[in-house]
Amino acid sequence: MKHHVGQTRNGITVYVDLISSRAAKHIAQQPQLLTLAKEMLGHITAKGAELNIEHDMGRVVGYSFIVATADTDTIFYACLLKDTVYTRFVKNGKPLSTPFVTVTLIQNGDMYELTDIRIGRITPPRPGSANESTDSREYWQHHAFILDNQTLQLRTVTKTCPY
């Protein structure tokens, strides 16, 4: 189901698939993301086939659940439900308030599809993912998702780094 989100500063229409996209999962959990996306789009000029954009909204808009970790933190790794890539988690972390919203836009003809959106700063892809970058491993050695209400594949939980 295509849902019109808004237009970029340079007049390009942006839509989101509210059923099967990664963005759909995040929007279902935080419906205010659609309003934030619309506001954000009016401030950006979209050029290129795939864009990862971090935007400072100028006010606190929510909490980031990706935090820097220390050697004293309890860290573990697991695959989320319906995922094959391991995610690094920290127990007992505290979410940080943030003014940033991050989106991924993919050009589709003369429009853009919003494929992902979340509150927080831009991060490199997780190690082991198809789009892993050269800085993925370094970043994720020192950052982790706060364990919250994610559904994990219990058989994949490990304290040993899988990458």
What does the alpha-carbon distance between residue 52 and residue 7 come to, in Å, rounded to a whole number? 16
Residue 122 confidence (pLDDT): 96
Whether the Cβ atoms of residue 107 and residue 89 lie closer than 8 Å to each other: no
Does the pLDDT value for residue 1 go beyond 90?
no
Tell me the one-letter amino acid at 80: L
Residue 149 confidence (pLDDT): 85
Note the pLDDT tens digit of each residue in 71-129: 999 999 999 998 999 999 999 899 999 999 999 999 999 999 999 999 999 999 999 99
Note the pLDDT tens digit of each residue in 18-31: 999 989 989 999 99
- Does this model's pTM top 0.85? My answer is yes
What does the alpha-carbon distance between residue 46 and residue 42 come to, in Å, rounded to a whole number? 10
Helix (H) or strand (E) holding 39: helix 32-41
Residue 2 confidence (pLDDT): 92
Whether the Cβ atoms of residue 116 and residue 103 lie closer than 8 Å to each other: yes
Note the pLDDT tens digit of each residue in 47-87: 999 999 999 999 999 999 999 999 999 999 999 998 999 99
